[in-house]
Amino acid sequence: MNWKIPLFKPGLDDGDIQAAMEPLREEWLTMGERTRRFEEAFAERLGAKHAFAVSSGTAALHLALAAAGVGPGGEVLLPSLTFVACANTVVQLGARPVFVDVADQDDWTLGPAALEAAAGPKAKAVIAVHYAGFPARMEEINRIADERGLAVIEDCAHALFTRHGERNCGTWGTFGCFSFFSNKNMTTGEGGMIAAADDASAERVRLLRSHGMTTLTLDRHKGHAKSYDVLAPGYNYRIDEIRAALGLSQLRKLDGFLEKRRMVYQWFLEELADVDKLSIPFRGADSNGAGIHIFPVRLKTPEKRAAFMEGMQERGIQTSIHYPAIHRFQAYREMAKDAKCPITEAICASEVTLPFHPYLTRDEVGTIGAAARELLARG
């Protein structure tokens, strides 16, 4: 399908391409200085004490859960309105996902009241997702987690870098997990980052990312270490130097991308203001400091969603759904049969994601708005 207006554009330039080729020319492909510099630059921009580059956002979530001590018999509280990796990684560790409804019709992040009601004695951690790039209610989530001794994991795959109060999303919880998948606000193809708030958590992540080994290839290469011990059965979730180089290059341009995304966001609000058959979430949120990732809307006539998306496709406009509710997937239905997520279910039945990326023009936003108006005016 050759879309006239695609859902997203990675937007790589010659600088990115040059940067990615350098490690290939130098033949130092993994665990080198670029990875270290990428982690340092990212941690500094985020305002985090520790950041570790990993092979994907999913790897970041898996590491965060493992480092938080999630395992068999434990429960993890998370929204059903998120990407399935959040729940898959919980199940892979032998724990049970407990799905929590979102706050309300406008705020599609974890609902603190629903969280409080769902948190039982087996709960070990909570995953807060900053949906679309808008911050979850971290003050309340942290308070509830503190009272119950839960680790707080922020899924920041959409929220790079979203300001919330005095801090960025990803530094409120115990861990902040980021994705650099090709459709995210910044990309390395596949890749991710995990921020850790304290030294002990960071040490767990450092170990588990690389087989649980006490010393790393780079240390041994530098002659700092000769052998190693293994302290825990860890994973190989490392990134490579090619991706780290691309990440460093992308990171330098990110603030410009984010500024442009906020502008496109305002264009959409302006364009869709008179389309009364659509509703736009997060109208109560402050978008000024948000690293906005997608533009979700809800149709007031959910039964017309398939026809609406079909009509958009006929006009060359790509749309998507973020997300089908996890607790309704075949793999989750049985284990989540007690889930109480009525707001999530209503959202999931009526949501459509419109194209959103920093290269959209005002005219293209106008084209999308006109198509939406026309399609929704039909009987």
Ligand X SMILES: *Cc1c(COP(=O)(O)O)cnc(C)c1O
Active site residues: 184
Choose which of 107, 154, 155, 351 interacts with ligand X (CB under 6 A): 155
Say how many residues touch ligand X, by CB under 6 A: 14
114 binds ligand X (CB under 6 A): no
Taking the least distance from each CB to ligand X, the nearer of 124 and 158 is 158
Residues 210, 214: Cα–Cα separation, whole Å: 9
Q: How far is the CB of 64 from ligand X (least distance, A)?
A: 11
129 binds ligand X (CB under 6 A): yes
Site string for ligand X, 162-201 (x = CB under 6 A): -----------------x-x----------x---------
Q: How far is the CB of 176 from ligand X (least distance, A)?
A: 12
Choose which of 57, 112, 176, 311 interacts with ligand X (CB under 6 A): 57
144 binds ligand X (CB under 6 A): no
Choose which of 158, 164, 238, 357 interacts with ligand X (CB under 6 A): 158
Nearest partner of 122 among 101, 94, 143, judged by Cα? 94
Touching ligand X, residues 76-95 (CB under 6 A): 82-83, 85-86
Beta bridge partners of 126: 77, 152
Taking the least distance from each CB to ligand X, the nearer of 58 and 367 is 58
Peptide bond into 134 cis (omega under 30): no
DSSP E strand boundaries for 321-379: 351-354
Residue 102 φ then ψ, to 5°: -80, 170
Output b/e per residue, 231-258; b: 16+ Cβ within 10 A: eeebbebbbbbbbbbbbbbbbeebeebb
Q: CB under 6 A: which stretch of 51-59, 87-95, 252-260, 312-320 binds ligand X?
A: 51-59
Q: CB under 6 A: which stretch of 52-60, 165-173, 207-215, 306-314 binds ligand X?
A: 52-60
CA distances from 294 to 14, 55, 252, 258 (A): 26, 23, 21, 12
Q: How far is the CB of 129 from ligand X (least distance, A)?
A: 5
Taking the least distance from each CB to ligand X, the nearer of 84 and 335 is 84
In contact, 267 and 241? CB cutoff 8 Å: no
Residues 74, 75, 76, 81, CA torsion sign:
positive
Residues 328, 331, 335: CA angle, nearest 5 degrees = 75
Rg over alpha carbons for the chain, rounded to the nearest Å, is 21
DSSP annotation of 134: P
Choose which of 31, 38, 53, 58 interacts with ligand X (CB under 6 A): 58
Taking the least distance from each CB to ligand X, the nearer of 109 and 249 is 109
Taking the least distance from each CB to ligand X, the nearer of 181 and 257 is 181
Residue 163 φ then ψ, to 5°: -80, 135
Q: How far is the CB of 26 from ligand X (least distance, A)?
A: 26
Beta bridge partners of 96: 75
Q: How far is the CB of 198 from ligand X (least distance, A)?
A: 23
Taking the least distance from each CB to ligand X, the nearer of 177 and 375 is 177
241 binds ligand X (CB under 6 A): no
Q: CB under 6 A: which stretch of 17-25, 26-34, 155-163, 341-349 binds ligand X?
A: 155-163
For β-strands 151-155 and 175-179, DSSP reports them as parallel
Choose which of 56, 185, 201, 344 interacts with ligand X (CB under 6 A): 56
Residues 318, 2: Cα–Cα separation, whole Å: 10
CB-neighbour burial class of residue 2 (10 A; exposed 0-12, middle 13-18, buried 19+): exposed
Taking the least distance from each CB to ligand X, the nearer of 132 and 213 is 132
Residues within the interface to ligand X (CB under 6 A): 56-58, 82-83, 85-86, 129, 155, 157-158, 179, 181, 192
